[in-house]
Amino acid sequence: MVFSRAVTRMAYVGALLALFAGSSLPAQEAPPDASTEAPVVVTATGVGTLVASGASVALPWIETPRGPLVALQPLVERLGGQLEVGAFGASFSLLLGDATFVLAPGSAAVTRGTDLLPLTQPPVVQAGVVFVPIDFIRQTWGAASGLSPTWDAAAKRLGVPRPENRDLPVEISVVHLEEVTTVVLRFPEAPRARIEKRSGGWDIVALGDRFQAPPPKRIDDPLLRAVSVAADRIRVDVAPGVEAESYRLGGPDRIVFDLFRVRGETASPAGPAAESPAVERLGIRTVVIDPGHGGAETGAVGPAGTMEKELTLLVARALSDRLSRELGVRVAMTRTDDADVGLDDRSAFANQNKADLFLSIHLNSSARGDARGAETYFLSLQASDQRAADAAALENVMGESAATPGSDEFDVQLMLWDLAQSRHLAASQRLATLIQEELNRQLDLPDRGVKQAPFRVLMGAAMPAVLIELGFISSAPEEQRLRDPAYRDELVATLVRAVARFKSEYEAAPGAPR
């Protein structure tokens, strides 16, 4: 479902009238979190002014103890873009050029591709109207077009002036590995630009920025013809029959193209087959399941003495059986009994088995005895929050590995694996999102969200990979639920549904086998 100006205007105005008709608004409960967050309380409402591109329009706003939020739809109408509503109205997607930003009421973050961008407070939906904090504009239109909002609290006026132009030098790196050419364009700041496909390649078109070309460099690559930089655009020219996947990465800011030859295509329509064989776009054929811990590594231990390693193995065995039976995929497990398996060996096992998905199963632990809920992680150099960083640090020090976390060697390996995983990050994020959605909806768990962290066990995986914390074994009630075979069956069924949804989406994507 898509918000369009013509279709939604009357409904939108009606919702606003309903919103402001009363003298007070009910408190809105935020999704539960183990922190836990206090309910969102709206303390004031009104209609202010949005000033953009020399014009002024009405802008509804609400106030919470954390500050102001403004209606999202007028921003879309004045600043550009398209707003789409996700399944069940649980999320919203803002499409700005080639970028898609996903927000969810109750979640103080917005996602763009593989990046989690923090917000000062969660978006709020009141009477069908979506309200966002002011910094949402900086994270979305600011990232895409350089817009920087100013909020006049006394006048209730939001100003969004046009940005100043920036000169951005461009660094270009090209690597060809396993029949895929990766083109990395690095910038000192996130570029305001959109990506456009054209005959023979792609253009990165500047939006208010100016690109500065690097010194000329000869490119000798079977898939890439040239990368040329002008002030207003960067041209990526490719060989005939070559397609690409593009995405953005932060820390440092990069635009990345993964080039691959479509099956059946050759380097020249009239000539012999290309020297590099066509890359087959695989579906989901093999899944590797990694039961966390094992052997001397017990993992977390519950109040009743239940060990994490025991429950993760039980869940993994049942998951393996159901994935094989219901989805027809081949499943392999990093351990099938109580054995010691190194962190690096787990992802290496997935690579050796040519896995298309890697699922690492874990249980959470917290000093808070009442902590509840599930979390799903995918790999990132930077953790999405302090709790994610702490969780990764704890897991990384368990077991033996070639490098000590925090050492120079470990940091270098982490950076190398980040680059190796980059082409799978978007798929890993999507898989993590689907798993988290299913766990929250089917099992009515508190939504602790999708997070990023530098988990060592995910670093070497050359396929979409996630780590799932299925619950808090440190909580006595959750420990008892996890010990219950019937509840574990529900968990497994939920994970199978998530994998089935991902498999269906993945195999329907362009280039996947039919």
Q: What is the pLDDT of residue 380?
A: 54
The tally of domains found in the chain comes to 3
Q: How far apart are CA 329 and CA 53, in angstroms?
A: 54
- Confirm whether 40 is domain-assigned: yes
- Confirm whether 234 is domain-assigned: yes
- Nearest Cα residue to 160 out of 77, 62, 92: 77
Pair 188, 151 in one domain: no
Pair 12, 39 in one domain: yes
70 or 92, greater pLDDT: 70
Pair 503, 395 in one domain: yes
Which of 198, 226, 261 is the endpoint of a domain?
261
Q: What is the pLDDT of residue 89?
A: 65
Decide if 115 contacts 250 (C-beta within 8 A).
Answer: yes
Pair 314, 233 in one domain: no
One-letter amino acid for residue 333 of the chain:
M
Q: Mind listing the pLDDT tens digit for each residue in 350-397?
A: 888 888 999 999 998 887 767 888 888 877 544 444 554 454 455 544
Pair 291, 375 in one domain: yes
Spatial neighbors of 227 by CB under 8 A, at least 6 apart, are: 172, 174, 183, 185, 219, 234, 235, 236, 237
Pair 143, 114 in one domain: yes
Q: How far apart are CA 215 and CA 208, in angstroms?
A: 23
**Upper half-sphere CA count for residue 403 (Cβ side, 13 Å):** 13
Q: Give the helix/strand (H/E) hosting 218.
A: none
Pair 220, 128 in one domain: no
- Confirm whether 272 is domain-assigned: no
Q: Mind listing the pLDDT tens digit for each residue in 31-62?
A: 333 333 446 789 999 999 999 877 899 999 99
Q: What is the pLDDT of residue 88?
A: 58
Q: What is the pLDDT of residue 279?
A: 42
Output the domain CATH number for residue 470: 3.40.630.40
Pair 154, 194 in one domain: no
Output the domain CATH number for residue 241: 2.60.40.3500
Decide if 123 contacts 104 (C-beta within 8 A).
Answer: yes
Which of 93, 126, 160 is the endpoint of a domain?
160
Q: DSSP per residue over 289-313, as a string?
A: EEE--BTTB---B-TT--BHHHHHH
When pLDDT is averaged across residues 148-171 and rounded to a whole number, the result is 90
Which of 111, 135, 160 is the endpoint of a domain?
160
Decide if 463 contacts 451 (C-beta within 8 A).
Answer: no
For β-strands 209-212 and 166-169, DSSP reports them as parallel
Domain of 330?
Answer: 286-508
Q: How far apart are CA 341 and CA 456, in angstroms?
A: 13
Q: Mind listing the pLDDT tens digit for each residue in 188-215?
A: 988 888 888 899 999 998 877 899 999 9
